[in-house]
Amino acid sequence: MSDRLPKFIDPLILADKNAHLAGKIPLSSLSRLHELLVNNVGEVTVSLFFGKEGKTAKIEGKICAVLAVKCQRCLEPVEWPIESDIKLGIVSSLDKAGKLTGDLEPLILPEENKIALTDIIEDEILILLPDIPKHSNNCAITIPANNSALLNEYRQPAVNNPFSILAELNIQETSDGSTKK
Ligand SMILES: [Zn+2]
């Protein structure tokens, strides 16, 4: 079996064939995740079995990846391993989604029956990502108690321009008197 996964799939046809898709999807191709991750290095390992449960087409399988998210305490990257079972029932409408039995989650198929594989994987990963990721133990960086400049930087992560950070730090240092005698 090749590692190359199709971009678009027709889950109904694959279910008829009891197909198995396995391979890797680069994180760089999952654009909805980009703003949530520190970087897009790595891949999602995907293994999906298509089949039927009664008359319902379904997808079962597993995805796993190691994501780099930003610790909301120290703002350094945290490796965030994910491993999740996928159990999706293919339905054509919200109405039918409500009637799914068993533990299948609904996957509503667009009219043309084709869906981007990356969309399915992105949806799964978005559910798995924590709202406020943090290092599980203590964060590695320590903040020197007497260094207000570092402390300010620590509190103001949202500034993109390094020069504006510097300017802001200078203003704050003088206004709170910490650099004066
Ligand atoms: Zn941390």
pLDDT tens profile 47-104? 999 999 998 999 999 999 999 999 999 999 999 999 999 999 999 998 888 888 888 9
Q: Is residue 138 part of a domain?
A: no
Q: Give CA separation, 77 vs 19, 100, 155, in Å.
A: 37, 39, 16
Per the CB < 8 A criterion, the answer to whether 108 and 92 are in contact is yes
By the 8 A CB rule, do 67 and 131 touch?
no
Residue 3 lies in a domain: no
pLDDT one-digit tens code per residue, 117-154: 999 999 999 999 989 999 988 887 655 555 545 445 44
175 and 121 both lie in a single domain: no
- The answer on 109 and 39 residing in a single domain is yes
Residues 101 and 42 in one domain: yes
Q: Are residues 33 and 84 in the same domain?
A: yes
Of 38-42, 66-70, 170-174, least confident by mean pLDDT is 170-174
For residue 153, the CA-to-ligand 1 centroid distance in Å is: 15
* CA 19 to ligand 1 centroid distance, Å: 42
The rounded distance, in Å, linking the Cα atoms of 44 and 116 is 15
| Pair 118, 149 in one domain | no
Domain assignment present for residue 135? The answer is no
Q: How far is the CA of 96 from the centre of ligand 1 (A)?
A: 43
Q: Distance from the CA of 163 to the center of ligand 1, in angstroms?
A: 24
More confident residue, 112 or 150: 112
User: Could you tell me the residue range of the domain that residue 153 belongs to?
Assistant: 143-181
Same domain, 37 and 97: yes
pLDDT confidence of residue 30: 95
Please tell me the distance between residue 122's alpha carbon and the centre of ligand 1 in angstroms. Answer: 25
Question: What is the DSSP pairing of strand 115-116 with strand 56-70?
Answer: unpaired
* Per-residue pLDDT tens over the stretch 146-163: 554 544 544 444 445 555
pLDDT score of 34:
92
Sheet holding 77-91, edge to edge: 20-26, 43-53, 56-70, 77-91, 105-108
- CB count, 10 Å around CB of 37? 19
Q: Taking the model in full, what pTM does it have?
A: 0.73
The total number of structural domains in the chain stands at 2
Mean pLDDT along residues 7-18: 96
- CA-wise closest residue to 39 among 27, 49, 50: 27
- 33 three-state secondary structure: helix
Q: Are residues 156 and 69 located together in one domain of the fold?
A: no
Q: Using the mean position of ligand 1's atoms as its centre, give its distance from the Cα of residue 143 in Å.
A: 12
Average model confidence (pLDDT) for the chain? 83
Does residue 69 lie in a domain region? yes
56 beta partners: 53
Ligand 1 centroid to Cα of residue 29, in Å, is 27
Q: Is residue 134 part of a domain?
A: no
CA of 125 to the centre of ligand 1 (A): 21
Q: State which of 1-5, 38-42, 43-47, 98-102 shows the largest mean pLDDT.
A: 43-47
CA nearest to 45, candidates 1, 3, 8, 87:
3
Residue 180 lies in a domain: yes
Tell me, what's the pLDDT at 180? 43
pLDDT at residue 174, as a whole number = 46
113 and 41, same domain (yes or no): yes
* Residue 69 CA to ligand 1 centre (angstroms): 10
Answer yes or no: are the C-beta atoms of 13 and 33 closer than 8 Å: no
Assigned domain for 153 exists: yes
